[in-house]
Structure formats: structure tokens, C-alpha cells
């Protein structure tokens, strides 16, 4: 056949199914040479549809069976069809998404048999202390306040990664327990401990899951990082190591042993709500805990690239991650480096590179907190930003279960003759703490733009904005009720 006589004949390659391509070519031939009757074409069309659907169905079922074996899944007869249909819907989304023009890719992973709603219930545990409307008002007010007060900022590097400075522990896996809040809380403390001059050690997420309850935290049903830090401060609690208090992916009885605690915190700093520039200043001090909207299917199956979803909410915050760095890509723009705790099989070896300076996409700067200890966060509180936390509002300590000696904690914090709890022994720190970001990394000749009235500061100055909020702890040691 000559293509010039059949200009549409070559377009058959647009069909994925080979039988559909054949049908299309037959249709063109019929229209041209009238060799097939309409009835014959109708029969051929029906047979083609059935054949192509069966072929695609067999292919998908084979992929699903392979996926089940890879992830050790087994279902009852009734559940099999339901999970297969969910998996197939997710696979359809992945294939369709990757055909589009995006800055990131998605791929099938171990969560393929879950709907987005099921996934959110099992893996997303960030509980916001405010409603979406209250958070919107706070973002609007604090963003306006930032524009109203022109603050001096130190020069900040164009790229920074706390992983390369030895301040980030390996990616963990929270499992099907919505305990992201506990993992992120310990991750930030691990970072500031190292930066302040201590050793990098994996701290116990399970301790927070078991003990920091009754304060708004709900164990495997979700929690809040800031509430968790307030609990630590008010009870003078010090995190035990992961080795001494391992993770079991479910809430259990509190087994905190004060004498085995290795790291507490002094106070906290909040990032100005909605301000990515303030988040940048805080992330230059140490890794920062952030709350995001992780409910999108695109986040569930994220596999690499720079994550940006314009449908992401800046106030519907349901997941917590740890910002450990930032950078700029010549083609794709600015990004944040965030550590997730869904294992290394998810995302980019357990990390997600999120779009930066994209109007606070996914709310990455809406609820961000940095724990403080030693010389970290040694700034003057700015009371015109957020009302400081009062000691009377701090949550009570969780009860501690009695247990046999040598393996379990005491029933309460030890009490000195004065009636005040005795602070556990501290871990010795190096005399020369780890330098902060701007003092160790070469700064670009033209630093990242800041507010128009900002005054450049020598690179040796620690990049802590004057707007830093330090939550004061009135007494160093706070009495704990029996």
C-alpha cells in the first residue's frame, strides 16, 4: 500500500494493543477499497475489544501476583478482588502520571494495595493543634508581621545538606503505625545533639510513642511534635537510645528509665508560620521538624525528582518530615531535602526533594519547630511573634509502669529531698561544638535574596534570625506530680 493513498494508515501505531492497530488498519482499508461489510467490521470490533481487554487484564494480574510475592501479601478470596482493584487503580494512576510533564516521578511500592484514605490512616500521624482556619489566620498574620519588620539575616549558602556533616541518622521505618511525629521529633534532637558537640546516636522513637501520651498525642493514631517537645521540657525527660528502647511499631506501656536517658532539650524555636525564608534560616542552624500535606496519591508513590503538587494544601497538615537541607537545581529551581521515615524503598532512598519558594507548597513552613540545647538557638526571644509557652500549660508526664530491677524503669522520676525531680546525668559534649552551616560552607558571591531592607552580615555569624521564638522554660527543673 502506498501511504499517500491512505494518509491515516500510519496512525495505527497510536494504539497500544496490536489487535486494535490491526482493526484500525482494516477500517481504513474498508473505507478505501470497500472490501469488508459493516457487519464484518462490527464483529471484528467486538472480538478485538474482548481480546485486548483480556490481554491487558492478564498482564496486570501477573504483575499483581509478582507484587504480592515481593511484599509477602496474602488475601482471602473475598479480599483478593478488592485489593487487586485498588492496586490496579493505583497502577493506572502511576502510568498516567508518568506520561505527563512533571518535575518528579511516581512508582509502585509496598503501599500499592491501599487506597489514599487507608494509607493516610496508617502512615500519617501529624495532628495539628489548630484548625485550618486558625492556621490560615496565623500564616496571614505572621507573614504580614515579617513584612512589617525588616530583619537582618546572615549570608546563607545556596546548597546545604546536614547528611554530609554527620548530623543525620539513617532512614528508619515507622511501619503501619501513624508515628511520624515521634520519628521526626527524635530526628531533630539527634541532629542538634551532634551539632552542639555530642555524638550522633539513634534515639528512641518508641519512648515517645509510649510515654508522651495524654497530652494531645495519641500513639499510633497520631501526635504533634511541638506538644512532644513541651512534654520533654516540662518533665525534664531525656530520650533513651534506640538500642536500649527499640521500636516495635505499636504503642505499649511506658518503660522510660531516667538514668538511661541520654539527651533532653532546653527549649524550642518556631519558624514564622508560612515563611520559607525563616525556615531556611532555622534549617541553617540544624535539621527542622515540619508538618506537610502528604495525603496526595502523588506523594504516596513518589519515587524521585522535585516534588511539587499544586493541589497540595498549606493548612491541611497530616504528616511530619525532617528538613535536613536545601539546594537549587538550574532546570527545576529551589528545593528542600526532607527525610521521611517510610524506609529506604520509598522515595529517593527514603528522602523527598520538595519544591522550595513555591508559595509554601504542601505547608512545609506552616508548622515548623526546632528543638534547642547547649549553644543551639542561643538567641533573645521575640515576644511580638508568638506568645511564649507558659509552664502552666505544659502537659503532665505520662505514667511509668513499675518493673523488676535492672531491666525496667522506676515508677516515677527520682525525687530529691527538696521534692524536685533529679535531672539524669548528662552526656559529656566536646569542647568545640560542630560549626553551623554558614561558617563551614563557601557562600555564593551573591547570597540568597532577602528582604529589601536586610543588611548583609559577615558569613561567620550564625544565621539565626532575630525573629526566632524561644519557648522559655521557667525553672530548669520542674516538679512532677506523683
pLDDT digits (tens, 9 = 90+) for 14-68: 555 666 666 666 666 666 555 555 555 655 665 555 555 567 788 888 999 999 9
Q: Domain holding 138: CATH number?
A: 3.90.70.10
Beta bridge partners of 160: 326
Low-confidence spans in the chain with pLDDT less than 70: 1-54, 127-154, 378-482
Domain count within the chain: 2
One domain for residues 372 and 445: yes
One domain for residues 278 and 328: yes
Whether residue 107 is contained in a domain is answered as no
Whether residue 126 is contained in a domain is answered as no
Whether residue 190 is contained in a domain is answered as yes
CA distance 354 to 368: 15
One domain for residues 138 and 233: yes
One domain for residues 90 and 152: no
Known catalytic residue at 372 = no
One domain for residues 65 and 211: no
CB of 84 closer than 8 Å to CB of 61: yes
Active-site choice (90, 319, 361, 382) = 319
At CB < 8 A and 24+ separation, what contacts does 61-64 make?
A: 63/91, 64/88
One domain for residues 193 and 296: yes
One domain for residues 311 and 379: yes
Boundary (domain end) residue, out of 51, 86, 101: 101
Q: What is the pLDDT of residue 118?
A: 94
Taking phi first (over 0 means left), then psi (-120 to 50 degrees means alpha), and beta for anything else, what does residue 349 get?
left
CB of 253 closer than 8 Å to CB of 399: no
Known catalytic residue at 319 = yes
Boundary (domain end) residue, out of 86, 101, 116: 101
Q: What is the pLDDT of residue 30?
A: 61
Domain of residue 226, residue span: 132-470
Q: What is the pLDDT of residue 356?
A: 97
> What HEC string does the chain produce?
CCCCCCCCHHHHHHCCCHHHHHHHHHHHHHHHHCCCCHHHHHHHHHHHHHHHHHHHHHHHHHHHHHHHHHCCCCCCHHHHHHHHHHHHHHHHHHHHHHCCCCCEEECCCCCCCCCHHHHHHHHCCECCCCCHHHHHHHHHHHHHHHHHCCCCCECCCCCEEHHHHCCCCCCCECCCCCCHHHHHHHHHHHHHHHHCCCCCCCECHHHHHHHCCCCCCCHHHCECHHHHHHHHHHCCCCECECCCCCCCCCCCCCCCCHHHCCECCCEEEECCCCCHHHHHHHHCCCCEEEEECCCCHHHHCEEEEEECCCCCCCCCCCEEEEEEEEEEECCCEEEEEEECCECCCCCECCEEEEECCCCCHHHCCCCEEEEECCCCCCCCCCCCCCCCCCHHHCCCCCCCCCCCCCCCCCCCCCECCCCCECCCCCCCCCCCCCCCHHHHCCCCCCCCCCCCCCCCECCCCCCCCCCCEECCCCCCCCCCCC
Known catalytic residue at 90 = no
Active-site choice (224, 340, 360, 361) = 340
One domain for residues 272 and 418: yes
Active-site choice (26, 52, 177, 180) = 180
Whether residue 122 is contained in a domain is answered as no
One domain for residues 342 and 382: yes
One domain for residues 165 and 72: no
Whether residue 443 is contained in a domain is answered as yes
Whether residue 49 is contained in a domain is answered as yes
One domain for residues 42 and 147: no
Q: What is the pLDDT of residue 434?
A: 52
Whether residue 478 is contained in a domain is answered as no
One domain for residues 195 and 52: no
Whether residue 348 is contained in a domain is answered as yes
Boundary (domain end) residue, out of 84, 101, 118: 101
Q: What is the pLDDT of residue 215?
A: 77
Amino acid at each position: 500500500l502506498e501511504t499517500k493513498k491512505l494518509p491515516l494508515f500510519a496512525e495505527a501505531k497510536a494504539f497500544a494493543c496490536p489487535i486494535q492497530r490491526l482493526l484500525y488498519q482494516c477500517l481504513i482499508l474498508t473505507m478505501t477499497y470497500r472490501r469488508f461489510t459493516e457487519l464484518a467490521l462490527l464483529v471484528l470490533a467486538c472480538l478485538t475489544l474482548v481480546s485486548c481487554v483480556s490481554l491487558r487484564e492478564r498482564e496486570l494480574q501477573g504483575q499483581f501476583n509478582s507484587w504480592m510475592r515481593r511484599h509477602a501479601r496474602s488475601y482471602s478470596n473475598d479480599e483478593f478482588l478488592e485489593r487487586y482493584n485498588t492496586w490496579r487503580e493505583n497502577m493506572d494512576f502511576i502510568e498516567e502520571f508518568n506520561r505527563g510533564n512533571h518535575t518528579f516521578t511516581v512508582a509502585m511500592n509496598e503501599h500499592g494495595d491501599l487506597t489514599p484514605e487507608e494509607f493516610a490512616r496508617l502512615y500519617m500521624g501529624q495532628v495539628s493543634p489548630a484548625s485550618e482556619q486558625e492556621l490560615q489566620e496565623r500564616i496571614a498574620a505572621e507573614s504580614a508581621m515579617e513584612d512589617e519588620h525588616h530583619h537582618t539575616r546572615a549570608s546563607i549558602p545556596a546548597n546545604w545538606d546536614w547528611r554530609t556533616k554527620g548530623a543525620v541518622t539513617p532512614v528508619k521505618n515507622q511501619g503501619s503505625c501513624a508515628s511520624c511525629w515521634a520519628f521526626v521529633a527524635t530526628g531533630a534532637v539527634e541532629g542538634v545533639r551532634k551539632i552542639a558537640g555530642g555524638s550522633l546516636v539513634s534515639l528512641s522513637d518508641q519512648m515517645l510513642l509510649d510515654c508522651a501520651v495524654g497530652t494531645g498525642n495519641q500513639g499510633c493514631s497520631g501526635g504533634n511534635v511541638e506538644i512532644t517537645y513541651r512534654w520533654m521540657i516540662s518533665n525534664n525527660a531525656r530520650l533513651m537510645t534506640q538500642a536500649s528502647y527499640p521500636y516495635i511499631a505499636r504503642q505499649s506501656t511506658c518503660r522510660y528509665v531516667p538514668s538511661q536517658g541520654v539527651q533532653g532539650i532546653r527549649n524550642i524555636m518556631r519558624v514564622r508560620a508560612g515563611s520559607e525564608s525563616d525556615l531556611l534560616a532555622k534549617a541553617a542552624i540544624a535539621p527542622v521538624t515540619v508538618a506537610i500535606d502528604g495525603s496526595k496519591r502523588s506523594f504516596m508513590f513518589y519515587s524521585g525528582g522535585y516534588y511539587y503538587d499544586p493541589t497540595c494544601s498549606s493548612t491541611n497538615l497530616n504528616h511530619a518530615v525532617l528538613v535536613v537541607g536545601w539546594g537549587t537545581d538550574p532546570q527545576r529551581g529551589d528545593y528542600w531535602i526532607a527525610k521521611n521515615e517510610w524506609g529506604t524503598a520509598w522515595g529517593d532512598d527514603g528522602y523527598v526533594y520538595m519544591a522550595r519558594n513555591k508559595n509554601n507548597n504542601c505547608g512545609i513552613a506552616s508548622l515548623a519547630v526546632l528543638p534547642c540545647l547547649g549553644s543551639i538557638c542561643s538567641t533573645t526571644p521575640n515576644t511580638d511573634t508568638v506568645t511564649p509557652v507558659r509552664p502552666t500549660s505544659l502537659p503532665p508526664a505520662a505514667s511509668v509502669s513499675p518493673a523488676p530491677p535492672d531491666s525496667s524503669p522506676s515508677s516515677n522520676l527520682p525525687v530529691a529531698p527538696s521534692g524536685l525531680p533529679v535531672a539524669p546525668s548528662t552526656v559529656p559534649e566536646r569542647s568545640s561544638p560542630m560549626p553551623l552551616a554558614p561558617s563551614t560552607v563557601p557562600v555564593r558571591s551573591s547570597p540568597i535574596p532577602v528582604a529589601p531592607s536586610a543588611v548583609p552580615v559577615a558569613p561567620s555569624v550564625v544565621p539565626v534570625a532575630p525573629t526566632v521564638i524561644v519557648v522559655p522554660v521557667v525553672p530548669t527543673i520542674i516538679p512532677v506530680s506523683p
